[in-house]
Amino acid sequence: MEKYTKYDAIVIGAGHAGCEAGLALARTGKNTLMLTLNLDSIAFLACNPSIGGTAKGHLVCEIDALGGEMGINTDASLTQIRMLNKGKGPAVYSLRAQVDKISYHTRMKRVLENQENLSVKQAEVSEILTKNGKICGLSTAQGEKFLCDTIVMATGVYLKSQIIIGQYKSDSGPNGFSPANLLTKNLIELGFKVLRFKTGTPARVDGKTVNFDIMEKQIGEEDIQSFSFLTETPLKNTAACYLTHTTPETKKIIINNIHKAPLYCGLIKGIGPRYCPSIEDKIMRFADKEVHQVFLEPESKYTNEFYVQGVSTSLPVDVQNELYPSVTGLENVKIMRNAYAIEYDCIDSMQLKPTLEYKNVKGLFTAGQINGTSGYEEAAAQGLIAGINAGLYLDGKEGLVLKRNSSYIGVLIDDLVTKGTNEPYRMMTSRAEYRLWLRQDNADVRLTEIGREVGLVNDKRYEKFQNKLKDIAKCKQLLETKVKIDQKMIDFLNKKNESIPKQTIRIYDLIKKNKVNLHDVNEEYDFFREFDRKILETVNIDIRYEGYLKQQERDIKEMLKQEASKIPEGIEYGALKGLSLEAREKLEKIKPQTIAQASRISGISPADISILIIYLKMKAR
Ligand SMILES: Cc1cc2nc3c(=O)[nH]c(=O)nc-3n(C[C@H](O)[C@H](O)[C@H](O)COP(=O)(O)OP(=O)(O)OC[C@H]3O[C@@H](n4cnc5c(N)ncnc54)[C@H](O)[C@@H]3O)c2cc1C
């Protein structure tokens, strides 16, 4: 009788989602196998060599606060870091790092290989096996079978993936990696609704052939916050990016060849990301714009390849050979890898529970691009939660559902399972209702206790977190200090163009003034010298935006009341005549777990919600 190896859990995929899921399972003591089509694609940055950016930076800090790996891996492999949106409010301050692609991959591969309870193997999963509606194992195309009790599927952009360059269409994953052509059939048999999405990437060009002298150099910022709350060594900027522009010539080339663009001649069927448009899309959509911004981003210190951000395309190679040299500074450029579009299969995320478990198969969780999102950070966030929940499933415990007031991760997953997405979903700060509370600097205040409860936050991180809370409390206490209005204070306030109070002034009231913040006071007075910049930043924002935060707290309380009213399983919505037909259909399909979730489903009216509440009250009675 054939003997099959048994694991507690198996993770399909070693992309950004798979890595977080596998580490979360292994670090909570589950004997885990991680399978990937190619070990060289572990944590592969298929598109831009950067992590973070608006709202994506928040996701990375939240992953770190919960005990995930992406923040640490980014700090360890970054070549440049900047805080975006500093001219706007603190809710949208976003860290963005340029990373060394090769170092990012190599370090993550080593972390996986050295992780206790985790085995990593190269193989193509062809079939997921179930028994009585539950996971029991999987088979590979290479003829192996593994047994397990739970699976996290994080197959990314590889399911039946095809790359497209003009008329050229080939079965391939990104960067020439092989596609996964067998699993989709099995997923359809398991009842998954499969969608076809697409995304695209620009060419990689040889830096030796780029004229950087006529471009605007962009360097990183010193003394800046890290992604990981554990990072202690100051971050070093070692590489620059370069800003340039397309030209009217670029526009002409595209317009003259638009009929060859797969997107415009119907060769591409998959739905693309609205917020990462190709250059041909930008030229056609913003016809009034003559030129578009382009950034040259270094891929790694181990190669001369540069990523041409802003010129993603799937136009034929001969057009690309005209197009890239028309960009200022690229006149003599050599293309090392052509730009391409990639189409791939993904699933309808409304078939998932808020724990990311598939509704039709117990123990099967999905995460990442397969759920219809786009982005390393979005994928890693889902991978972490799916990994945590697969572990809790094995322990027979209730799954972790992060609410919309706790995190961008909570907003992301709730949007996916409640509203679904008919195009690659990218996280944005505008998607969050409570964004002044969901800042990067307080991600640990919001999430590290939860990470501790699920067993992912180790003692070192927990102690550091506790010390931070103590420091914040102590710093806030010190704000009660009264400062006398002496010449020093008068000079300080005059310098800040602020009015001079008659009596002594509490530092608390001082930083409530428009033009004074806690960093200014810290430069002038030595009350706060024992605290590091991050503590001062959090306290400064908490106090200066106290009114708004209090209002958000009230809104959150109201929302949590609705979240608390659970909807029992097994309700026959079809029988609730008072509900609109659309409401009955959508409630039946999504099976919301709370009144709050039901009220967020598009097409469900407040009237439908009142009928549901009355029905539940009567049922309870
Ligand atoms: C060309 C391109 C352009 C992109 N452009 C952007 C962009 O502009 N902006 C943006 O935010 N994001 C972009 N992305 C998306 C970004 O790369 C993904 O969001 C991210 O990599 C998704 O992570 P993931 O973990 O879900 O999947 P991936 O990183 O794709 O990893 C999937 C993993 O699953 C494995 N796998 C798949 N099927 C099987 C199987 N059957 N058996 C075993 N292993 C399997 C693969 O080997 C791989 O390890 C782009 C991606 C590509 C390819």
Kindly state if the Cβ of 201 falls inside 6 Å of ligand 1: yes
C-beta separation of 166 from 106 below 8 A:
no
Pocket test for ligand 1, best of 19, 47, 340 (most atoms within 8 A of CB): 47
Same domain, 31 and 139: yes
- C-alpha of residue 257 to centroid of ligand 1, in Å: 29
- C-alpha of residue 344 to centroid of ligand 1, in Å: 10
Same domain, 325 and 233: yes
Same domain, 150 and 221: no
Q: What is the pLDDT at residue 1? A: 55
Kindly state if the Cβ of 153 falls inside 6 Å of ligand 1: no
Pocket test for ligand 1, best of 41, 56, 155, 311 (most atoms within 8 A of CB): 155
Q: What is the pLDDT at residue 586? A: 86
**CATH number of the domain bearing residue 511:** 1.10.10.1800
Q: What is the pLDDT at residue 589? A: 81
In a domain, 361, yes or no: yes
Kindly state if the Cβ of 15 falls inside 6 Å of ligand 1: yes
Kindly state if the Cβ of 244 falls inside 6 Å of ligand 1: no
Nearest CA to ligand 1 atom 35: 13
Same domain, 385 and 395: yes
- C-alpha of residue 161 to centroid of ligand 1, in Å: 10
Kindly state if the Cβ of 108 falls inside 6 Å of ligand 1: no
Nearest CA to ligand 1 atom 20: 376
The residue among 549, 582, 597 that closes a domain is 549
54 vs 92: CA distance, rounded Å: 7
- C-alpha of residue 362 to centroid of ligand 1, in Å: 25
Q: What is the largest distance, in Å, between two alpha-carbon atoms of the chain?
A: 91
Same domain, 145 and 18: yes
Q: What is the pLDDT at residue 116? A: 98
Kindly state if the Cβ of 105 falls inside 6 Å of ligand 1: no
What SS3 class is residue 102? helix
Q: What is the pLDDT at residue 13? A: 98
Nearest CA to ligand 1 atom 13: 375
Nearest CA to ligand 1 atom 30: 156
**CATH number of the domain bearing residue 379:** 3.50.50.60
Same domain, 250 and 168: no
Same domain, 249 and 358: no
Amino acid in position 184? T
Nearest CA to ligand 1 atom 21: 376
What number of other Cβ atoms are within 10 A of residue 478's Cβ? 15
Same domain, 216 and 331: yes
- 3-state SS, 376-441, equals HHHHHHHHHHHHHHHHHHHCCCCCCCCCCCCCHHHHHHHHHHHHCCCCCECCCHHHCCCCCCCCCC
Structure tokens at 149: 């009790």
Q: What is the pLDDT at residue 598? A: 87
pLDDT digits (tens, 9 = 90+) for 138-189: 999 999 999 999 999 999 999 999 999 999 999 999 999 999 999 999 999 9
Q: What is the pLDDT at residue 2? A: 63
Kindly state if the Cβ of 157 falls inside 6 Å of ligand 1: yes
- Return the H-helix or E-strand segment holding 4: none
The number of folded domains in the chain is 4
60 vs 78: CA distance, rounded Å: 14
The residue among 290, 306, 340 that closes a domain is 340
Kindly state if the Cβ of 342 falls inside 6 Å of ligand 1: yes
182 vs 103: CA distance, rounded Å: 31
The residue among 555, 541, 447 whose CA lies nearest residue 88 is 541
C-beta separation of 235 from 226 below 8 A:
yes
In a domain, 38, yes or no: yes
- C-alpha of residue 47 to centroid of ligand 1, in Å: 9
The residue among 139, 127, 21, 34 whose CA lies nearest residue 393 is 21
Same domain, 185 and 208: no
In a domain, 66, yes or no: no
C-beta separation of 84 from 225 below 8 A:
no
The residue among 22, 88, 20, 91 whose CA lies nearest residue 60 is 20
Confirm whether pTM is higher than 0.85: yes
Nearest CA to ligand 1 atom 18: 375
65 vs 68: CA distance, rounded Å: 7
Amino acid in position 411? V
Per run of 10 residues, the mean pLDDT along the chain (length 621 residues) is 85 98 98 98 97 97 98 98 94 96 98 98 98 98 98 98 96 98 98 96 98 97 90 93 98 96 87 88 93 97 98 98 98 98 97 96 98 97 98 98 96 94 94 94 97 98 97 96 92 91 90 91 90 94 93 88 81 83 85 84 84 84 76
Q: Which ligand 1 atom sits nearest the alpha carbon of residue 342?
A: 1
- Return the H-helix or E-strand segment holding 206: strand 194-206
- Strand 168-171, strand 241-245: pairing: unpaired
In a domain, 457, yes or no: no
In a domain, 19, yes or no: yes
Same domain, 211 and 188: no
Same domain, 225 and 195: no
In a domain, 10, yes or no: yes
- C-alpha of residue 40 to centroid of ligand 1, in Å: 13
Kindly state if the Cβ of 593 falls inside 6 Å of ligand 1: no
In a domain, 257, yes or no: yes
Amino acid in position 283? I
pLDDT digits (tens, 9 = 90+) for 497-524: 999 888 789 999 999 988 899 999 999 9
**CATH number of the domain bearing residue 612:** 1.10.150.570
- Strand 9-12, strand 50-52: pairing: unpaired
- C-alpha of residue 376 to centroid of ligand 1, in Å: 8
Residue range of the domain that includes 512: 472-549
427 vs 408: CA distance, rounded Å: 8
- C-alpha of residue 46 to centroid of ligand 1, in Å: 7
Same domain, 262 and 322: yes
